[in-house]
Structure 1
Amino acid sequence: MTLRKLYYAELAAHAVKLGCPVSEARTIAEDAVTELVLGEHRGTLGPIQKERAWLFATVRNMVLAARRKARWNAEADAHLIADRTQQRTWASPEAHLETVETLRALHSLPGSHRDAVVLAADGFSLREIADALGISVPAAKKRVSRGRRALRDLLDPPGGRHRDD
């Protein structure tokens, strides 16, 4: 068991490389090792020849399952938020679709940029964004800028029909 604990850092790093948030990576690594131990204890797993490879494959599967679940929840949340927006403002169907498209585009941004853009849209200062994300103020400014640019490009691609330039 102590040898398996040595894998935690590697497994967590692997989860992050696969797109898992850093805050969840350690938990996924621990869950993979726990699944191995419990499977051996219950006898549901046969003899595993390459334990390290099995753990990395399990982490990969857990990250992919979490991403699928998050994507499904984001789709449902986007429609729910758009429905609430439409009910509150008596918006047109076009406004509803615009809200859904904006939320989908926002969700497709990398997590670091999405967090910075959402905090900036909520009126947080760059200092507050930097503190919340655990980064420097220049890094927060860069993430907000790049996130806004990426969001703008997703909603109105370069050369698109809505370009005012």
Structure 2
Amino acid sequence: MSEGLKTSEEIWLLLGEQLKSFFVVRVRDHQTAEDLLQETFVRIHAKLDTVADVQRIRPWIFQIARNLLADHYRAKSKEAARLAELVEAAPDHEQQLEDVVIGWLPRMLELLPDKYREAVELYKLQGMSQQEIADRLNISLSGVKSRVQRGRSKLKDVLYDCCSFEHDRRGDLISISRNEDSAGNFDGKFEE
């Protein structure tokens, strides 16, 4: 994926959605995520010519994103600064694995039936409350809760059908491998 990423535009086209998902999942606020994404690309654009090894550009980009996220948490409060330290302290390998999985989310969400996909996207990616979703979709709060829970369960199923995950004794993710019977392109369908 890193090969040929020489301009900010190429990086935007290939990694923009992954970076946006990276921020949305962590800050749970769509506007804040957009701001962090924009600042990430300002920094990428300013420093892109300093990258010596094009093969390492993706980890470099996500390090910028992690640093901006840490700065964001520090600015919010002391408690948030402690969370930022946890983000900074995460092993680089583990963070890269997590970034890969987060990058899969948009494609995986497309596999969900519309009613589950919409509820999960509004709740998890756009940061809406479940009550706001109920009002927007004109359904009951319990209906929203059910759709979000079932949608998350279906996402988990497709992820575990695709890949195997290895964890250490503490439960930290240490490797991901594609299952032999999975093409890894998430072209399966869910049943209602």
With normalisation by structure 1, the TM-score equals: 0.42
- Structure with bigger strand share is 2
- Structure with bigger helix share is 1
Higher relative contact order (CA 8 A, sep 6+): 2
Larger radius of gyration: 1
